[in-house]
């Protein structure tokens, strides 16, 4: 199972994102659930870098591991844009988890 953990600050802004595991919903290399989670997470992190010119610190490892801790030293306007894009990523990952709850779990204290 893929586990997505969202850490938040007291104001509900995204502090960090941690993804680990594999979906195993299909043959390795043909697992559409895993591909969806990877595409959403890497796509949005790349979009933040390309569109906002902000390179978030990311750690990657074995077992589908991805960790991103969001720095707080950005200007207020830039922080708002980064947060908006991250919330879009979280919403997309939640959508995948709702459709494929046997394979993806999102742990996030924020409710919508």
CB within 8 Å of 50: residues ≥ 6 apart: none
User: pTM for the full model?
Assistant: 0.92
Look-up: residue for tokens 């895993």? Answer: 34
Q: What pLDDT shows up at residue 28?
A: 79
What DSSP string describes 21-39? ----SSSTT--HHHHHHHH
Q: Mind listing the pLDDT tens digit for each residue in 50-79?
A: 999 999 999 999 878 999 999 989 999 999
Q: What order of strands is seen across the sheet that includes strand 2-8? A: 58-61, 65-69, 14-20, 2-8, 104-108
* Domains along the sequence of the chain with CATH: 2-108 (3.30.70.1490)
pLDDT > 70: percent of the chain: 100
């Amino acid at each position: 199972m893929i586990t997505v953990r969202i850490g938040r600050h007291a104001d509900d802004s995204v502090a960090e994102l941690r993804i680990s595991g594999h979906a195993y919903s299909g043959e390795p290399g043909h697992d559409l659930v895993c591909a969806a989670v990877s595409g959403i997470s890497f796509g949005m992190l790349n979009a933040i870098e390309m569109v906002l010119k902000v390179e978030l610190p990311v750690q990657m490892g074995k077992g589908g591991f991805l960790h991103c801790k969001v720095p707080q030293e950005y200007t207020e306007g830039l922080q708002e844009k980064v947060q908006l894009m991250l919330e879009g990523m979280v919403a997309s990952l939640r959508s995948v988890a709702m459709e494929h709850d046997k394979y993806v779990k999102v742990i996030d204290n924020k409710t919508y």
